[in-house]
Chain A
Amino acid sequence: MNRGVVKFRFWGKNWLQSMGVALGGGFLFLAVYVIGSRDFSGGVGRMLLDSFQVYPVYVFLVGTFVMAMYGVTWFQTYYSVFVSLSATRREAVVGIVVAEGAVAAGLAGFMAAFWAVIPGGGKYLSMMPLVTGILFVVASFAMVLGVAIVRWKKLGVLLAVILYGSCGMAFGITLAMTGDDSGAFRKLQVFDGTALWPVLLAGAGVLLYLLSCVFAVAAMRRSEVRV
């Protein structure tokens, strides 16, 4: 069998597994937190339709967690094994980062398609740039953490924790400094689809993802492998 096809099948399985966990987990959360607490007086059909309009939000929440976990795990699980089985370092890293990017794209694609198809879902489509940006940012962070763990072991974990802690702190400080407008957070829920910043965030997310890919390839260029 063609080597490309074999690789595609291997990563395809991993991709499907991640998507399955995100979609299944999202559905579970939807069932527990939304459907279970809805009012049935308008009819079951109406209630289900209303509930499923927010299903992609739960897929997004579970999906970001899944991506963060799988992104790190794939590096830990597969990188050394791939290289020890005669893959080039570039080949090993590219497989992982492309799969991670494909999960981010797959989740974004699913959410967009779901909202496009479900009645009344169109109003949520304006959130897609924001959602896409966040998914790719999470993918980037997961990849950098995965690389740090595999490449620099404990020191890598320490550096990654410091880096991510700093990012979280910077985000928190920014929120606190701009938090004088108490309604700002609530305003986010009435999402302004015409605003430019979600589009910029989407662009920044994709850019960050690409930079992480370059970082991953460069960092693993002369890595030691032990199995």
Chain B
Amino acid sequence: MLLSEYRKDRDALSRKALLLTGDPLGERWSLTRAAQALNDVVLDFCLKTRMIKEEINVQLKKSVHEYDIKTRVEEDGTLRFYGYPTRLGFNGNNNPAMWPTALLAIDLLGYPQTAGTNTHQWHLDSVSPGKVILFGPPAEDGEALPSEENNMQVTYIALPTYMSAGDAFPDTKIPVISYEAFPYGTASRLLDEGDEQDLLKSFEMDFMYRKWTLEAIADEYRNLTVYDDVRPG
């Protein structure tokens, strides 16, 4: 049986959450409100586990050191919304990835921020989320997109696709085995609005949600194969 056959859509997950809150008929919380809490939980889960990665190719401009990646992603229209960057490549696979650095490190070494002729380092210290700074700025314009030549490839943690309809499934990049976490997280958020008894139950649901989230991280990043135990570190 394929894993996809275990998938549950938004309404099914919301109903399960309502069942966990002790409100299976939706007398206290409507299915719509449960669905909103469900979307919040899926977002939280994806950021905590860094589950969804996307890549965007950004054209570099000579001497321009600041790039607004979030806006570029939104303008693209085909990519998932931007979370935060995890890797910056340069010139496709022809050059090594750019290295992350810190403004303080640049200052301590006594460099001006325009030093260097190749863009080989980047930092986030002097900009708000959504932007990156290159050190030093590009020596020449990159080729017109979609060419990767002399351009920057940003891999980022993305926000999951929003479930707007009742029959929508969680983002396709979320493994089906992780769906189990969502009703618990949803129930916890709904129960936060209740009385003392609800709150006790909310603590329990929150614990279950965290447990499933941690297990997803372990599944995704650590327990990959039986050979894990012999890998250094």
A and B together in one complex? no
